Chains A and B, each alone.
Chain A
């Protein structure tokens, strides 16, 4: 890891590498994950899932299973008839199917028993009669068979959502162009595969004197306890005040634990019915079926460009394979289009997207949510444009970069942007110019017939630092933090933020420690508990460092003001002269004038009473356009990344080796550079796997490879060396200038590898993953005219005209220059 820029401000905690606050629990086996929770009299439960991709349920007979000794309770669809879903606009899921199943894995019954062995038997004794229906397993099949209606939420045929936008005058933009190019790309979907399978324990505590009848606690491996809380209340008809959702340490999520799930609801209902704690731990196969992973997307791009490389117009279309239910899919559909403008400056832009229902596990958000697929397509397309125009791909990108503190043609406010610096860094570290000069030079003797061809490719990207709008419309804070100080010097921080391994709990500790001038290890943290902690919307959209970090700063500053006030009086100086570090409050200009933090806390408690504070954060207003649908894409800031990939391709076998990845990431300011580098490396690793090996294949309606052995994930033997470069130019609104690192760095990796493959062999693959068979086929398609051409990517039955009303919009002239807006602090 390298960090070319030094901190612009002296911090004591921020910016220094240090262990995560929960690291020791994890390396000693002490950390309690959801499945590690075992309660007295706990029952085990499991869901019976559909073996058919699409079928009508004729009858479900559970009598024989109920009679089995050890079975305590069974639920079927009618027991939980309330529909739910993560988005208010996609309320299409049932805890257990009632009339119809829509994918292999759709839950139909839930059984609670004394032990897992009894569950095995009980599952076999439930008799479900199905009438099979035709299953549609691809974008093309969904478009070709509108008469087979998979999901009633589809507006036309199997089109779940269609959107259409034009920003600025696209026709004029293309008329301005000296050169226009069109391309089709296909991004195959893939799944998160967190190492921890989804698990939960529900415990209902009856209270006959409470009209509600009792209180419910759910421990679940979820990224979004707040949304699970809301959906449980809705489906179970229990007031939110009587439900407590706790996310214990989560063993990886990557977006796969962001939805409210059937198993969570069923565990709660089984606990309420039996009066006993109930645990459900999904099997690895079930994790593949729960999915909510990366949408397969077909994409078409048409771009106009001037001879000098200036972009004049872009028209982008996406077709998303959504699987059987809505999940986050409406947001995903928007995300395939809205961020194209945040990387390169586009004077006009047209975006049409559509999501199709298919009979597959529902797709949802995976790291990079909806932006990874178009980033791959746009960056490969940009490389082709540069090649066509005879321009250097780096210079072409640099020429078109978005400028910091501007507004995009679709109305998004951009603040800090160090993408140019990121590109320069990966170019320098990868010896880009030397590599390409050597490649262009005439080959030496003996190398001519070497079947191994090397290539170096590059790509750029951007990502949101948190969704600018909450999932359900409200004016409430997106994140809030409470801090309590006690006279012993104890500091307790309460925040709903959910640590899924990314380090959000640690970030809270660092931020509060920096503000109060103490060591992070001194701070006690209570997180991700809907009863104990104030709201945080969840670990999605790379929002936590930015939003919970700012909320923590706001809360800590209030306490610091109180402590500094009494310390200043005691030391007989003005509070402005004071600073604090390592548990000592002292005059910055005369460190001899000092007071221990503990003493100051005692004096402040004597003066003000018990010391508590709160702070909250909501993104600023006016960071997006004023058109319908403008709520997806705005963010208080955007992170930027660039990747260079070096590959070697064997022309004879098609084998692709990614030798090294260089990744420069504009993080604004790292709160802990060790954790930022960890996120960058993890993102690069995950992008690498998506680019070259992960395959989401279905056969006869079934997931073909629902196991960690056959679904290829990169091991130590596969993973290339990853060199991380952190670019730190503080953002004016980020916490200490910080921006996200969890998702953005994944995005440029896939196109950088794709572009490197082209650089190596001179042939484009244009779909992911880039596997040896596709490489060989692509090579043969150009060298051997007898072989068939590659399959056409364009959908066979694309609707024309686009089946939704076109929304046209352009920004007002005076809003093009965006002014930094100070972060909105909350009240006590």
Chain B
């Protein structure tokens, strides 16, 4: 039997009738149509289904929706605001960090969580933060380079934002 729950996803409130044992991954993809969240194993092994729950990277295939009703859930679709991409999305595209693209949404969300916690991560910190996200295409090199580039871009954006505020 389905159960009516409320989920806050990407800043939007959704009332969903869910099968209680369905995972957050299934509900996001099949009930809410947010197919940007990918599934590689549904056993918590690959990281492709990573979403942010209150800013922390979580495997949606191991999460039940009823547990996260009070939380803010962010999927890859939620990183884009009014057509403007998150700097990590831009640099992943520009620097070849997405090949087949199947790990990419999860990888980017883990990257966003890393940059929120640590605005200028070292290579070691990147390795630690992304260790749960498998990528079979890139050898991870281009992913690190994309994060480095996004760090630069975010820093520049912060400087110019501060500059703007200073003028006001």
Binding site for B on A (CB under 8 A): 17, 19-20, 22-33, 35-36, 38, 117, 192-197, 249-254, 283-284, 500-503, 674-675, 677-678, 681-682, 684-686, 707-709, 713, 715-717, 719, 721-722, 724
Whether B100 pairs with A195 at a CB distance below 8 angstroms is yes
Contact B99 A196 (CB under 8 A): no
- Establish whether residues B100 and A678, one from each chain, have CB atoms under 8 Å apart when the complex forms: no
**Pick from B127, B130, B139: contact of A722, CB under 8 Å:** B139
Tell me whether B139 and A684 are in contact (CB under 8 A): yes
26 pairs, A vs B, C-beta closer than 8 Å = A20-B93, A26-B104, A27-B90, A27-B98, A28-B36, A28-B76, A28-B79, A28-B89, A29-B35, A29-B36, A29-B77, A193-B136, A197-B41, A250-B100, A251-B38, A252-B100, A284-B40, A284-B41, A284-B45, A501-B101, A502-B99, A674-B95, A677-B141, A678-B138, A685-B138, A715-B134
Q: A502-B99, A716-B140 are in contact. Are A709 and B43 (CB under 8 A)?
A: yes
In whole angstroms, what is the CA distance A766 to B21 when docked? 49
The answer to whether A195 and B40 touch (CB under 8 A), given A31-B101, A716-B127, A717-B128, is yes
* A30-B36, A32-B35 known; A681+B139 contact, CB < 8 A: yes
Report the minimum CB–CB distance from A671 to chain B (whole Å). 13
* Residues of A close to B48: CB separation below 8 A: 195
Q: Does B142 have its Cβ within 8 Å of any Cβ on chain A?
A: yes
Given pairs A22-B101, A196-B102, A253-B100, 19 additional interface contacts (CB within 8 A): A23-B94, A27-B89, A27-B90, A28-B89, A36-B29, A38-B30, A194-B100, A195-B38, A195-B136, A252-B99, A500-B100, A501-B100, A674-B95, A681-B139, A682-B139, A685-B140, A713-B136, A715-B132, A719-B139
Q: Is the CB of A254 within 8 A of B77?
A: no
Residues of the A chain whose Cβ atoms lie less than 8 Å from the Cβ of B38: 33, 195-196, 251
- Chain A residues in 8 Å Cβ range of B42: 283-284
Whether A29 and B34, one on each chain, are in contact in the complex, defined by CB atoms closer than 8 angstroms, is yes
Complex Cα distance, B24 from A57, in Å, reads 40
B43 touches A708 (CB 8 A): yes
| Chain A residue contacts of B89, Cβ below 8 A | 24, 27-28
Minimum C-beta distance from A292 to chain B (A): 15
Asked if B99 contacts A503 (CB within 8 A), the reply is yes
B135 in contact (CB, < 8 A): yes
The answer to whether A19 touches B94, judged by C-beta atoms less than 8 angstroms apart, is yes
Of the candidates B30, B92, B130, which one forms a contact with A716 in the assembled complex, judged by CB atoms under 8 Å apart? B130
List chain B positions with a Cβ less than 8 A from chain A.
19, 29-30, 34-46, 48, 75-77, 79-80, 85, 89-90, 92-96, 98-105, 108, 126-128, 130-142
Assuming the A-B contacts A195-B40, A195-B48, A196-B38, are A713 and B98 also in contact, with contact meaning beta carbons closer than 8 angstroms in the complex?
no
**Contact residues in B for A17 (Cβ distance below 8 Å):** 96
Q: CA separation between A45 and B30, bound complex, in Å?
A: 16
CB-CB under 8 A from A709, the residues of chain B are 43-45
| Contact B94 A29, beta carbon cutoff 8 Å | no
Contact among B43, B96, B137 for A674, CB-based, below 8 A: B96
Docked pose: A383 CA to B98 CA in angstroms: 37
Q: Once the chains are docked, how many angstroms separate the CA of A28 from the CA of B76?
A: 6
The distance in angstroms between the C-alpha atoms of A24 and B36, with both chains bound, is 12
Chain B residues contacting A682 (CB-CB under 8 Å) are 99, 136-139
Taking A254-B136, A674-B95, A716-B127 as contacts, is the C-beta distance between A708 and B102 under 8 angstroms?
no
Q: Which residue of B lies closest to A676 (CB)?
A: B96
In the complex, which residues of chain A have a beta carbon less than 8 angstroms from the beta carbon of B19?
A: 117
Residue pair A708, B40 in contact (C-beta under 8 Å): yes
Contacts A284-B41, A500-B100, A674-B95; is A195 near B142 (CB within 8 Å)?
no
Provide the residues of chain B in CB contact with A681, threshold 8 Å.
Answer: 138-139, 141-142
Task: Say yes or no: A717-B99 contact (C-beta < 8 A), given A29-B36, A252-B136, A284-B40.
Answer: no
Given contacts A195-B102, A503-B99, contact A23 B137 (CB under 8 A): no
Chain B residues near A707 (CB-CB < 8 A)? 41, 43, 45
The CA-CA distance from A32 to B102 in the complex, in Å, is 10
Asked if A678 and B85 sit within 8 Å, CB to CB, the answer is: no
Q: Determine the chain B residues whose CB is within 8 A of the CB of A192 once the complex forms.
A: 136
- Which residues of the partner chain B approach A25 to less than 8 Å between Cβ atoms? 101
Instruction: Tell me the minimal C-beta distance from B50 to chain A in angstroms.
Output: 12
B96 touches A713 (CB 8 A): no
B140–A23 contact, CB under 8 A?
A: no
Distance of B80 from chain A, by nearest CB (Å): 6
Known A195-B48, A678-B142; contact A252-B102, beta-carbon cutoff 8 A: yes
Q: How far is the CA of A715 from the CA of B134 in the complex (A)?
A: 6
Query: Do A24 and B37 have beta carbons less than 8 Å apart?
Result: no
In the complex, the 9 A-B pairs of residues with the closest C-beta atoms, listed nearest first? A29-B36, A501-B100, A26-B101, A685-B139, A251-B102, A23-B93, A29-B76, A681-B139, A708-B45
Alpha-carbon distance between A253 and B100 when the two chains are bound, in angstroms: 9
Name the B residues within 8 Å of A23 (CB-CB). 92-94, 96, 98, 101
B136:A194 contact, CB within 8 angstroms: yes
A713 contacts which chain B residues (CB < 8 A)? 134, 136
The answer on a CB contact under 8 Å between B139 and A28 is: no
Give, as a whole number of angstroms, the nearest-CB distance from B98 to chain A: 4
Contacts of A36 in B (CB 8 A): 29, 35
> A680: nearest residue on chain B (CB-CB)?
B139
Instruction: Closest A residue to B98 by CB, please name it.
Output: A26
Q: How far is the CA of A179 from the CA of B45 in the complex (A)?
A: 51
Closest to A25 in B: B101
| Contact between A27 and B101, CB atoms less than 8 A apart | yes
Contacts A23-B93, A28-B76; A501 near B99 (Cβ below 8 A): yes
The docked-state distance in angstroms from the alpha carbon of A682 to that of B135 is 9
